[in-house]
Every structure is written in structure tokens, then in C-alpha cells.
Structure 1
Amino acid sequence: MRDRLILLPGWGLGTAPLQPLADALRGLDPRLNVQIEPLPLLDSIDPADWLDQLDAELAQDVWLGGWSLGGMLAAELAARRGERCSGLLTMASNLCFVAQPSWPAAMNAETFGAFRQGCAADAPAALKRFALLCAQGAADARGLSRQLLSAAPLPNSAALLAGLDVLAAMDTRAALQAFVGPQLHLFAGQDGLVPAGAAQALLMLLPDVEIGLIDHASHAFALERPHEIAAAIQAFLHEAGDD
């Protein structure tokens, strides 16, 4: 099913931020079957449990993609499936979301810890702050943050905290190195959550994969500039032999 692409959303904001991108992709190629699948609603903080559920629920032999946390999960699932995955694409998705000595191009651990603490104390306020961070760097950051929040599901504190813990625990470097299928990784030049330097760090780790940096774009670039992102993805699919 090389004409089928499954997209996974990021943390906390539901599937709506990816809908304009899915529509733009369908407009470019009506033969491409694009699905947006929600992240698991689990209390588990073990990424393996999340991957088990996704592996059981998502179709085999398709393209896997995702935004932010969704991209990290797609990368791990692609590596798990190997030849049963047509290819991988990620958007604004770091290899380690929280910085560590061997991967400094990520969010400061203290900053992440403070955000998690805030989410535990007041999930709606944390989600509002997160939407602002996602929109940071956009041409209309306030408008974009309102758009992100307006369609977000009601906050579920347990699921949100579990998602943050999974996000902090994941390190997709081994998965990306193991997956031999085609890969496209898109980063945003003004991302307030994933440093643009992560693109160069990934290129040094995997010089043979496709990497793109979208200048003057926010973490939520899939919603901010869906047609531009769709064109980049469509070009990648075409180059990889999807047509």
C-alpha cells in the first residue's frame, strides 16, 4: 500500500493540526490515501506500550509519518516493522526531545521538568502555554496558537502526563539508523520546542536521508504552512518511487 500514508499527531492538541496538511496532500495527489490517527490514550509511561498499541491498530505496509511526538513514535514503529513499512517522514520531530550530553540540540531538562510540573498542577494552563510555544516564530503566532487550542480535545491530565513522560524517555537515534527505507525529516527554522540545530545533528548522524529546514516557520508549521509542507512531502514520495 505505497499509496497510503498514516500521520500521527503531536502531544496534547489532537489530530486537528494535521488536517489542513492531509487535505493539501490529497489535493496534490488524489490517489494518495492519507489518514490521521490519534495517539494512544494510555496511562503507561513506557514507549513500548504505546508502540504495541499503534502496531496493532495501524495498517501494515504503509508510509508512516508524524508531527513532533507523533514523528518519534512513527520512527520507532518504522524500525520495528522494517520492510513492512514503505517509508518514514517526520515533521518538527527531534531524536531526543530532552537534551542529554550526547544530544544537546534539544530542550533543556530543567525547562522540560518545569513544564511537566506545571502540567501536573494545571493541565489546561499548560496546554495553553504549549500552544503558544508551538506557534512561536509564526507570522501570526497568536492567531495560530488560538487555532491550535480551539480544536484541542479536553485535557486529560493522566494521559497528558504519560505523553510527556514518553516524550522524555524516547531516543530515536537507533531506530533511524536501523530503518533502511526512505526517510524525510522536516524541521522549522523558528521552532520554539525543537532547536533548528537538530537538523544538522541528524544530518551528521545519517548523511544519506532527506532533511529539510523550513525557514521562518514555527513548530506548528504543518498547520501554519500546509501547502508548502505538502509539496515537500509529495516531492519526497515521488522521488522515492511512490508514483
Structure 2
Amino acid sequence: MSQIVLDVDTVWSSTEGQGRPLLVLHGWGMNQAAWQPIRAHLTQHARVTWVDLPGHGRSAVDQLGTLEQLVQTLKPLIQPNTAIIGWSLGGLLAQALAYAMPDKVARLLLIGSSPCFIQTPTWPHALAPEVLEQFATNLETDYVATVKRFFALQFMGTRHSPVELNQLRDAILQYPARLPALHQGLELLRSVDFSEQTLPVPSRWILGRLDKLVPVAVAEVLEHKGYEVKVLPHASHVPFVTHTEEFLAAVEPFIYE
């Protein structure tokens, strides 16, 4: 299996495996280590590019940037016929890339994500704005503890080995996100709203019924917009970690076609 590691000014990425190009984008405060439970499986079926977003993991800068800057940063990693997996905040970025590059982005797999993460008059199935405001306040006091609490929140309601979860958390926090990037990520979650648009590429959404960050009620709205939606009944925000086999069954062969 070939592996290429690319270090550029703003983003760290690693590409491995053979097959169709697949770009994988992590969520807020995380990095590519979060994908460890499904890494070997994906690289058996696709040529996968793992990314540490700017200001996260091993990327070289402290700033995450604006949505427009992130799209420009990630564009060079997208080849023709690329599928994108986006989890949580990474799902918002995946949507932005699909709108910007529908000629190259072939399809999206969106995990624990939404067109809009914050409640609006026309999009009620989302977080109250105060939730993200509290995270922003807590970051100024103790950002490592805040990220750890956020990590725990993503698994709330599910049964999984605490030893495995702690090992995964420690692997992620070996390269913690920087404070400016965390604040900018919260701003993206607060401000980006694609709820009035329709994605120009085939998309499948994977949601957990127990998710505390993306209410499962959003599934009906997404289906009404014409998207494919799969709700995992016993999963929360991180189904690829807690319900790996069920998750993989729900995404194949969609991302490999």
C-alpha cells in the first residue's frame, strides 16, 4: 500500500490506498486520528486522503480561517470524481466544496452533520445558539477540558468500551487543536447555513438517533429535500466509532461506486 505525506503551509494530509479518490474531513476540535476505527477498511477500497484541518492536529498554522479560505485551501486535494466524507463540521466543509466544485466532487457522505447547526426561524431542528456560546466561553477558561467535555458529549447515550474511547481521545489530543482555530470553528458552526440550498451531487446522510448535537428530527427535513438518509437507532454523534459494522453497512457501496 503506497502512502504519501504532504505538508504545506496550512494543512497536513496523508494519502494511502488504491481506488477512487476519497477525501475525509474531521469535526470540530478533532483531527485525522478520529478515523482510526475505519481507516484500514476505507483504504482497502479507495485512495483516501486524510486531513488535519488548519489549526488542528499536525497542520502548521493556528488559524482555521473562513469558509471561503477553507474551500481554497482544500481545493488542491480534490481530484476529478472525488467522493468526500465529512463528519460534523467537516460535513459543512464537504457541502461547501460540493457547491464550489460540482464538476469534481462526485458524491458526499455526511455523518452527524447538517445544512445548518444552529436553530433559525426556518430551521428549528438544530442546537440553540446558547450552546455554542457556552463552548466559546469555556474555551477561554480551559480549552483542553472543554474539548474533552465535547468529546464525551459526542458519545453520550451509547455503550462502548471506556478504555477504547479514552485511547482514541488521547490519540486525538496528542495533537490538540489550537485556540484560535477552535473559536473560528464555532463561528462556522454558528454562521454557515445551507438550509435553503440543494446539493448538486448525490449525498447520503448518516445520523445517530441518540445524537445530542444534530437532532434526529432533521432526518425528515433532509428526506423532504430529496436526500438519502440513514438513521442508526443506537448510535450518537460518532457512529463510525461506536457502531463500526453498522456504519460501514450503511455507507457501502455508496462511497465506492
- What one-letter code is carried by the residue in structure 2 that aligns with 1:220? V
| Contact 2:83–2:255 under 8 Å retained in 1 | no
SS at match of 1:184: strand
SS at match of 2:187: helix
Give the fraction of aligned pairs with identical amino acids, expressed as a percent. Answer: 28
* More off after superposition, 227-236 vs 10-19: 227-236
Q: Which has the higher helix share?
A: 1
Could you tell me how far 1:165 is from its partner in structure 2? Answer: 1.1
Match of 2:38 among 13, 17, 21: 21
Match of 2:246 among 219, 223, 228: 228
Could you tell me how far 1:106 is from its partner in structure 2? Answer: 0.7
SS at match of 1:192: coil
- What one-letter code is carried by the residue in structure 2 that aligns with 1:203? E
Deviations 1:142-167 (A, max 9, x none): 45652442112224111111111122
Classify 1:145/1:161 alpha carbon distance in 2 versus 1 (closer, same or farther; 3 Å): farther
SS at match of 2:106: strand
Match of 1:170 among 183, 192, 211: 192
SS at match of 1:37: strand
Question: Is 1:191 the equivalent of 2:208?
Answer: no
Match of 1:161 in 2: 183
| Contact 2:31–2:51 under 8 Å retained in 1 | no
Partner Cα separation in structure 1 for residue 161 and residue 247 of structure 2: 18
Q: Which has the higher strand share?
A: 2
| Contact 1:17–1:222 under 8 Å retained in 2 | no
Partner Cα separation in structure 2 for residue 38 and residue 20 of structure 1: 17
- What one-letter code is carried by the residue in structure 2 that aligns with 1:191? D
* More off after superposition, 158-167 vs 228-237: 228-237
Q: Output aligned runs, 1:30-49, within 5 Å.
A: 30-41=44-55, 43=63, 45-49=65-69
Classify 1:80/1:174 alpha carbon distance in 2 versus 1 (closer, same or farther; 3 Å): farther
SS at match of 2:85: strand
* More off after superposition, 147-156 vs 14-23: 147-156
Question: Is 1:53 the equivalent of 2:73?
Answer: yes
* More off after superposition, 86-95 vs 143-152: 143-152
Match of 2:166 among 146, 150, 174: 146
Classify 1:45/1:15 alpha carbon distance in 2 versus 1 (closer, same or farther; 3 Å): same
Match of 1:217 among 227, 235, 248: 235
Question: Is 1:104 the equivalent of 2:124?
Answer: yes
Partner Cα separation in structure 1 for residue 164 and residue 237 of structure 2: 11
Classify 1:50/1:237 alpha carbon distance in 2 versus 1 (closer, same or farther; 3 Å): closer
Match of 2:142 among 122, 125, 130: 122
| Contact 1:64–1:89 under 8 Å retained in 2 | yes
Classify 1:35/1:155 alpha carbon distance in 2 versus 1 (closer, same or farther; 3 Å): closer
| Contact 2:24–2:86 under 8 Å retained in 1 | yes
TM-score (norm 1): 0.87
Classify 1:236/1:224 alpha carbon distance in 2 versus 1 (closer, same or farther; 3 Å): same
Deviations 1:86-127 (A, max 9, x none): 111100002111111111111111122111111122111110
- Please give the root-mean-square deviation of Cα atoms over the aligned residues, in Å: 2.1
Classify 1:104/1:141 alpha carbon distance in 2 versus 1 (closer, same or farther; 3 Å): farther
TM-score (norm 2): 0.82
| Contact 1:135–1:141 under 8 Å retained in 2 | no
Q: Bigger relative contact order, structure 1 or 2, given CA contacts below 8 A and separation 6+?
A: 1
Partner Cα separation in structure 1 for residue 104 and residue 165 of structure 2: 37
Partner Cα separation in structure 2 for residue 141 and residue 194 of structure 1: 23
* More off after superposition, 43-52 vs 82-91: 43-52
Report the count of equivalent residues. Answer: 232
| Contact 2:54–2:64 under 8 Å retained in 1 | no
